Amino acid sequence: MTSAADPKTSFELITKNLQEVLNPQIIKDVLEVEKRPLKIYWGTAPTGKPHCGYFVPMTKLAHFLKAGCEVTVLLADLHAFLDNMKAPLEVVQHRAKYYECAIKAILRSINVPIEKLRFIVGSSYQLTPEYTMDVYRLSNIVSQNDAKRAGADVVKQVANPLLSGLIYPLMQALDEQYLECDAQFGGVDQRKIFVLAEENLKSLGYNKRAHLMNPMVPGLGQGGKMSASDPNSKIDLLEEPKQVDKKIKSAYCSPGIIEDNGLLAFIKHVLLPIQELKNDSDAFEFFINRQEKFGGPITYKSFEDLQNDFKDEKLSPPDLKIGVADAINVLLAPIREEYKTSTEFQEACAKGYPVETKVKKVKKVKNKGSRYPGAQSESGPIDSVDKTAEKLNDTSL
């Protein structure tokens, strides 16, 4: 992978396939005026296991590295803890290691050099007196409503929210300063936090940063993004081929409907950019091993042709699913292999996501006594005359 040759080419690579860029002039000034590498950070909170949706930001990290940027990956362990306490801190630390192993495995699987990639765990600097004081200073400026609104699309929303949900966006804003970046990268769901940072960091005497936003890839269900908290909306990086096939077969895919179609979105936002990175060109190829009775195998040379055929119902949902399942299994094969050969990867998974063993309940045998119809006493059937006598004795004074 070669680095971008000039500021214009670098800027095009940095902003390629993004949904929105805030303050692009900051990026241009660094590249054209200061003539130095752009410093970018991308943060991820180690909560649920990373899934195939992570290929989307990974392709952008590849673009940044190719453009000569200095890229920092923040493993935001304290953010994961603050997000409605999804896991205790000691477990989150193991999850942070799992995320690091997973991210490296993804990038290696798509031939992205990771020598210039820097990993930082949030708690390594977020517990310092200076950072803590800045959290207090920022909380003295940002209103409760603004903090709540900023985290609405990121922090888990519950009926009785915790105070931690208000601290979360403040810390994400401050991370820009403490990681000494020129720009922060994230999904478009982070936009409100980015705006909070732009509007308030200057009050602490800190510079405004640029913000780069990826589109959100729809999940496998009807509507909604691919989420680690919804097992039916996502495919884990270590999912076995049979499980991948099963999940893709059950994915929402209505004939001719291209809006909110998670399978088409995956091809567009994951497979297409990865092919471009691997081949260093805009070439596209998508193979579907279609049965002969439905027209036989077919290879699409452009995403537009594939999408149009599906829209015109020349390509059926079952056939599209076959192609996507096969493509995902090819993507995941080297990641699964790296996991099998890495004890560090396996240990982080075992400690970060311990398997809960369910204790099988022993069914209690009900003692019905000897007074139900058909019951036998130890000495044989109870005579009806004896029963009547017993009742008379019980009621006598």
Sign of the torsion formed by the C-alpha atoms of 368, 372, 375 and 377: positive
Residue 359 tokens, joined: 């204790």
User: In CATH, which superfamily holds the domain spanning 7-214?
Assistant: HUPs (3.40.50.620)
Q: State the CB neighbour count (10 A cutoff) for residue 175.
A: 23
Nearest to 193 by CA among 217, 165, 160: 165
The CA–CA distances, whole Å, from 258 to 159, 222, 245, 262 equal 34, 12, 21, 9
- Residue 84: pLDDT above 70? no
Specify the pTM: 0.82
Pick the CATH number of 241-352 from 1.10.1750.10, 2.60.40.10, 1.10.240.10, 1.10.390.10: 1.10.240.10
- Reported as a pLDDT band with limits 50, 70 and 90, residue 157 is low
Average pLDDT over residues 321-349: 96
Q: Looking at the chain, which residues constitute the CATH 3.40.50.620 domain(s)?
A: 7-214
Q: Per-residue pLDDT tens for 261-319?
A: 989 999 999 999 999 888 777 788 999 999 898 889 999 999 999 999 999 999 999 99
Asked if residue 70 lies in contact with residue 118, where contact means CB atoms within 8 angstroms, the answer is: yes
Average pLDDT over residues 201-210: 96
In terms of average pLDDT, the best of 49-53, 178-182, 220-224 is: 178-182
Asked if residue 239 lies in contact with residue 220, where contact means CB atoms within 8 angstroms, the answer is: no
Q: Looking at the chain, which residues constitute the CATH 1.10.240.10 domain(s)?
A: 241-352
Task: Please state, in angstroms and rounded to a whole number, the distance separating the CA atoms of residues 240 and 316.
Answer: 25
Lowest mean pLDDT among 90-104, 148-162, 171-185, 241-255: 148-162
Q: Could you identify the residue written with the tokens 């949030």?
A: 122
Nearest to 171 by CA among 209, 192, 197: 197
Nearest to 194 by CA among 184, 182, 206, 207: 184
